[in-house]
Amino acid sequence: MIDFTPTQEQQALIDVVRRFVREEIIPLEADLDPDASELKPADYARLKRKIQDLGLYGMDIPAEFGGPGLDVTTRALLAMEMTQHRGGLYTACYGVFGGAGLAQLYEATDDQKERYLYPTLKGEKHGFFGLSEPSGGSDPARAIRTRAVRDGDDWIINGAKLWISGADRADYGIVFTRTGEGREGITAFIIDTDTPGFQVRRVVHTLRSAHYATEMSFDDVRISDAQRLGPVGKGFSLANDRLSAQRIPYAAQCVGVAEVAHRMAIEYSKIRETFGQPLAARQGIQWMLVENEIDLRSARLLVLAAAVKADSGEDFRTEAAVAKIVATEAAGRVVDRAIQIHGGLGVSKELPLERWYRELRIRRIGEGPTEVQKMIIARDLLGKIAG
Amino acid sequence: MSGLGIRNDWQPLTAAAIGELPGTLGVFEIGDDQGHTLYIGYAGGRSLFGLRSPLGDYLAKPPVVNAQFRVELNMQYISRWKELLMDHQARHGSLPPLNPAEDAFALGHLGQQSGKTKK
């Protein structure tokens, strides 16, 4: 039997993060716009220093690159804690814990690591991940039409990308291009954003008020072969290799937000009275809370099961896909019920519920939509006959 | 970058014009009497009366004589505000004169960047 009780070390980390969110992050949110995704610069710098002093900065950075070397299970447990505030789902603790940079850069050449990976890990540079295009994102092996054509020691790139986060603020991007046919015809390049011919054409507004996607174009962008990331034709596997692992913390973040929403709903149902009784006395409300509890326990267990499998070194693609589907969809239902229980207050910006409702809707699409996750699971169940 | 700005017409910054606005969230611009943008702002979730609140503040202390304003009702007010700032930056090389420097913090770029020749 697998025991998901945190170890002593895990619990100590959980307690530190929980206290940090409660004492440092939540108080600041009282002065931020309800849809804000950034702290004031002075607060960000102060809290980042605090996290660095605690030795928790860059927790997603692999140990061989100076990170704390957390396993996937610990990372998932901390992800559930870090998101438990208004802006937590997409900007857990407003980024003061640092990021891991673009994971594909860990496969870069030494020169590329010096120019891009290490500055990124230090927070000196920011990159974007340029995979999706107007023609598609779920099936990049077929959908990618941005072309890279060899020209001597250089490559010339033409095309467009869409739904790309952070490109307008990035110093460089990892861009996946077509150099041949099919899955083996994708090649990745690192492109500096001030390269002639590259431009971010527009922002794309979404359900998230504070954050947007971007559309970009490449018009005869000439780059050296030294900017190629990985072998020609191996871009698809470079993009794919880390996707399964990323899905686990992605799912865990949804669980964290849903847990707060559920707690809010329980507390509110005890104090809010209608027709002379608290809401909690009504069976209809009780059953909604019970369904929340079942959804949350299922999601949490499946996320941790996927994390444990990932840590075991065995293939965990199916477990990650299951966790992603269940967590993203369950969290949406939990927040929806929490809004219903809160009534008018639930749909107002006075509470974080409406923001989580909008943002969780996106989680069923990002990092591979539910339908793609189901394809992964079907292939595991049925083999090649599943397509 | 044309076409990204607020498309509604400029209106004189008067109590009557502001009073006609719904108490909705969105973005706004303050301009001079020639229609040059002086400030780009937004009315967000903490705004008591939506767009009327920040515009009322400017009415109380107008930055120029015969100031004007224009608005766009938009629930995606933060991303739209950033887009307007980036658009202004791309077209004019800087933020509007009354936007503080901190509004440029972590602001992105639209269009072609410096375009310095890469080897």
Chain B residues whose CB is inside 8 A of the A115 CB are none
Nearest CA in chain A to B3: A202
Q: Do B79 and A167 touch (CB under 8 A)?
A: no
**What is the model's pLDDT at position B35?**
94
Nearest CA in chain A to B74: A209
Q: What is the pTM of this model?
A: 0.91
Quick: pLDDT tens for B11-65: 999 999 999 998 999 999 999 999 999 999 999 999 999 999 999 999 999 999 9
Q: State yes or no: ipTM above 0.85.
A: no
Chain A closest-CA separation from residue B119 CA (Å): 7
Q: For chain B, what percent of residues have pLDDT higher than 90? A: 80
Average pLDDT over residues B91-100: 95
- The strands making up B68-73's β-sheet, listed across from edge to edge, are B11-12, B68-73, B26-31, B37-43
Reported confidence tier of residue B117, pLDDT bands at 50, 70, 90: very low
Chain B residues whose CB is inside 8 A of the A222 CB are 118
- Positions of chain A with pLDDT lower than 70, given as ranges: 1, 100
- Look up residue B29 and give its amino acid: E
Give the phi and the psi of residue A277 in degrees, each rounded to 5.
-140, 155
**What is the model's pLDDT at position B118?**
36
Q: Do A168 and B112 touch (CB under 8 A)?
A: no
- Whole-angstrom CA distances from A61 to A65, A243, A367 are 6, 16, 19
- Pairing status of strand A154-165 against strand A127-130: unpaired
Chain A closest-CA separation from residue B50 CA (Å): 12
Q: Do A212 and B118 touch (CB under 8 A)?
A: no
Question: Which among A41, A196, A212 is the nearest to B118, CB-wise?
Answer: A196
Quick: pLDDT tens for A207-216: 988 888 999 9
Give the phi and the psi of residue A139 in degrees, each rounded to 5.
-125, 65
Is A367 among the catalytic positions?
Answer: yes
| CB hemisphere CA count around B12 (13 angstroms) | 5
- Pairing status of strand B68-73 against strand B11-12: antiparallel
Q: Do B108 and A200 touch (CB under 8 A)?
A: yes
Question: Which among B46, B76, B107 is the nearest to A33, CB-wise?
Answer: B46
**What is the model's pLDDT at position A1?**
63
